[in-house]
């Protein structure tokens, strides 16, 4: 079997969430919105925004560590005509505050410094 080097990877064909919706998500800035979406399109765009801009970390909740989003990346509403509008936002979640407190508590225990 021969291994070829230096051959560029072709772009995806845009038929999946990674292609079409992630490209739209990458082009959106905070405060931008996309409207007239079906519920399925809304779900795919929200998932793509979370995939592209979401920050995840381990947080200890209810006695166990879980991988959680540290920020919200989208907000959506159902419009009067039955379609959806999705905004790109950047808002910390409650898990971000928990994680910050866990880190501060850890450093306080290690160094003896008070907050």
* pLDDT, tens digit, 9 for 90 and up, residues 73-113: 999 999 999 999 999 999 887 777 777 777 778 778 888 76
- CB neighbourhood size of 34 (10 A): 21
* pLDDT, tens digit, 9 for 90 and up, residues 16-28: 545 788 889 999 9
At residue 74, what are phi and psi to the nearest 5 degrees? Answer: -150, 160
Distance CA 40, CA 21 (A): 11
Provide the pLDDT for residue 32. Answer: 95
Distance CA 88, CA 71 (A): 12
The ranges assigned to domains in the chain are 17-111
Question: What b/e readout covers 64-92, taking b as 16+ CB neighbours within 10 angstroms?
Answer: eeeebbbbbbbebeeeeeeebebbbbeee
Provide the pLDDT for residue 77. Answer: 95
Q: Are strands 64-69 and 56-61 parallel, antiparallel or unpaired?
A: antiparallel
């Amino acid at each position: 079997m021969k291994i070829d080097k230096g051959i560029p990877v072709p772009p995806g064909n845009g038929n999946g969430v990674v292609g079409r919706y992630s490209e739209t998500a990458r082009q959106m800035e905070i405060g931008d919105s996309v409207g007239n979406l079906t519920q399925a399109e809304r779900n795919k765009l929200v998932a793509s925004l979370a995939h592209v801009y979401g920050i995840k970390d381990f947080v200890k909740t209810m006695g166990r560590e879980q991988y959680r989003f540290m920020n919200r990346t989208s907000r959506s509403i159902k419009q009067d005509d039955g379609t959806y509008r999705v905004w790109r936002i950047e808002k910390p979640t409650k898990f971000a505050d928990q994680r910050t407190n866990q880190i501060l508590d850890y450093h306080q225990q290690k160094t003896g410094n008070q907050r």
